Amino acid sequence: MPEKNRMSERRRQIVQFIHGYLREHGRPPTVRDIQRGVGVASTAVVKYHLDRLEKAGYVERAPRASRGLRLTSKALSWLGAAADEPVSSVVRVPIVGSIVAGEPVTAYPTFDADVDTLELTRDIISDTENVFALRVRGDSMVDASVHDGDVVILRQQEEANNGDMVAVWLEDDQETTLKYFYREGRYVRLQPANPAYEPIIKPAEVVRVQGKVIAIIRRLAA
């Protein structure tokens, strides 16, 4: 079976060329620049790969604008070109996956090349140690306060204080959920943000805190 995350050599070539051209000329290349740069005979080939790269989130484009091309942070980190950005209060955070009912959050990963990343600034997260992001998928662990498609930023930790919003793995239900955390003796009360929902009360030993939510970002259709 073909590796799912393998990006074709041609695509890597193109991203690399764009990056080089940008550094050299101070403007993005045209489709035909890329065509010559990577050595293909048709502009349609370039267009084809740019479409794929855009869909994969490596490139953003301004339709019909000449040189309307920009590399995303994902592409830059993919190139290992993070050295591009100097000082900057920009922080790159890995998106380790999605919250899906039935699966635990995977262990905090090393910075693999093709881990999806999210760029944030220190205006949003002040500290970057052990910070990671999760994309919320589906409604299973969601109440009115967190929606499908939201990105939650978490700091990895096993303990939580009362009132913290945490991602927890429930051993017995075999699922991850986002809730407010309250310790009550040998039990843990998991309180949905929406007061209309009933709290979940579990023995402490089946509740595994995976991380504490430090920010929630919701992007609406632009």
| Chain positions contacting a second copy, by CB under 8 A | 22, 25-28, 30, 60, 62, 66-70, 72-73, 84-90, 118-127, 144-145, 147, 155, 164-165, 193-194, 196, 212-222
Residues 55 to 114 in contact with DNA, rule: CB under 7 A: 61, 63-69
Of these partners, a second copy, DNA, none, which one is at the site of residue 5 (CB under 5 to 8 Å by kind)?
none
Residue 152 tokens, joined: 């939650």
Catalytic residue among 55, 77, 89, 179: 179
Residue 192 beta carbon to a second copy: minimum distance, rounded to whole angstroms: 10
Amino acid at 128: T
Closest CA to 151 of 59, 215, 75, 107: 215
Reply yes or no on whether 74 is catalytic: no
Give the C-alpha separation, 147 to 149, whole Å.
6
Residue 37 beta carbon to DNA: minimum distance, rounded to whole angstroms: 12
Q: Is 82 exposed, middle or buried (0-12, 13-18, 19+ CB in 10 A)?
A: middle
Residue 58 tokens, joined: 């490596």
Catalytic residue among 140, 145, 202, 212: 140
Residue 62 beta carbon to a second copy: minimum distance, rounded to whole angstroms: 7
- 103-105-111-115 Cα dihedral, nearest 10 degrees: 50
Give the C-alpha separation, 60 to 27, whole Å.
14
Residue nearer to a second copy on the CB measure, 127 or 159: 127
Select the residue interacting with DNA from 16, 20, 30, 125 (CB under 7 A). Answer: 30
Residue 202 beta carbon to DNA: minimum distance, rounded to whole angstroms: 38
Residue 104 tokens, joined: 């635990």
**Which residues lie closer than 8 Å to 192 by C-beta, 6 or more apart?**
143, 145, 179, 180, 198, 199
Of these partners, a second copy, DNA, none, which one is at the site of residue 115 (CB under 5 to 8 Å by kind)?
none
Of these partners, a second copy, DNA, none, which one is at the site of residue 107 (CB under 5 to 8 Å by kind)?
none
Reply yes or no on whether 126 is catalytic: no
Of these partners, a second copy, DNA, none, which one is at the site of residue 166 (CB under 5 to 8 Å by kind)?
none
